[in-house]
Amino acid sequence: MSKNKTHFNSANIAILGASGYTGIEAIRLLVNNSNYNIVDLSADSNAGMSVSEVYPHFSRINLPDLKKIEDINFSKVDAVISCLPHGKSQKILSSLPTNIKICDLSADFRFDNIQSYEKVYNKSHEAKGLQKEAVYGLTEINRDKIKKARFVANPGCYPTSALLPILPLIESNIIKYGTIVVDSKSGVSGAGRTLKNNLLYGEVSEGFSAYGLVNHRHSPEIQSQITNFGSSEYKVLFTPHLLPIKRGILSTIYLSINDNFNLENVVNCLRDKYSEEKFIDYSDTIPSTHEVRGTNFCKMQAFFDENTNKVIIISVIDNLIKGASGQAIQNLNLMLGFDESDGLINFSMFP
């Protein structure tokens, strides 16, 4: 296969950090996608093991064994999904051959401004050249740029749920300058697979808590994208919460609209923007996480509160799919010339 092609008949893909939740979701979505051949899987802490030893539900699927990244022969790889932790992606991804298409799920390349990244994550950026190449991978907003990109920085799960409803309204000048409140709730898989006391079943079940108040790292990511897309006159107030469920994000967004607009304008704007999209649905009922669990869909609905003169938008996604691995594959499909929806059309598991 020619490595200079912009359209592939099929692509050899490596998944880095394959034993985490986002890595294993990428595998699950790719095994039935004829566009991709999974040729390498890295998981340094589990190197030498088969995938089924870590995840027994893959016992009947023929997959490469897990290995260390340095043992991968990248000359045989056309595309990479990187599910490595924040801070680990920079040196590794910047060292890969420049013909490889890359979608990175870490936060390392999501900020156009290097100084913003260094301030938020309190560490220096070690791949400034690659950062200049990165395209922010919010698919339905940046599709044209993603098609031409070699390197895509996948958005965070919370920002995906918030930005998809907000950005079209900013583009249409419907949202009034001022504070946009984003109140989000996520399942525990959003914290990854690392063992943490506060994520144990006995700690999480039958409870509901806020965390990361005023300093959660997704807040400046949301802010930077809104500023880039619209204006710094919009300010984001973001609060995340931990739900005692495995997966799913529900974001409740509160905003003011300019005087010459009403709820009908908001609804029409979102319907018009996403009417042809396969993975975004303006719902006629209040969306719930049940409706998107295990899918690459985002569902949303808008309401108007006359008492406060505020618009309320409910947005739901599966944090591991539209918020991570599904959107990454959607982006790679575009980058490699495949149909954008290949391997991603399915329906929610219910109940």
Buried b (16+ CB within 10 A) or exposed e, 59-76: eeeebbebbebeebebee
Mapped onto helix, strand or coil, the DSSP state of residue 199 is helix
Helix (H) or strand (E) holding 15: strand 11-16
Enumerate the H helices of the chain as residue ranges. 21-30, 51-54, 89-94, 114-121, 128-133, 139-148, 157-171, 201-204, 218-229, 263-274, 326-336
Q: CB count, 10 Å around CB of 148?
A: 10
Q: Which of 83, 103, 157, 269 is catalytic?
A: 157
Residues making up the chain, counted from first to last: 351
With b meaning 16 or more CB within 10 Å and e meaning fewer, what string describes 154-185?
Answer: bbbbbbbbbbbbbbbbbebebbbeeebebbbb
Report how far residue 131's alpha carbon sits from residue 136's, in angstroms, rounded to the nearest whole number. 10
Contact 43, 22 (CB under 8 A): no
Task: Provide φ and ψ at 26, rounded to 5°.
Answer: -60, -40
Q: Is 157 a catalytic residue?
A: yes
For tokens 């709730």, the residue is: 185
3-state secondary structure 66-132: EECHHHCCHHHCCEEEECCCCCCHHHHHHCCCCCCEEEECCCCCCCCCHHHHHHHHCCCCCCHHHHH
Catalytic residues: 157
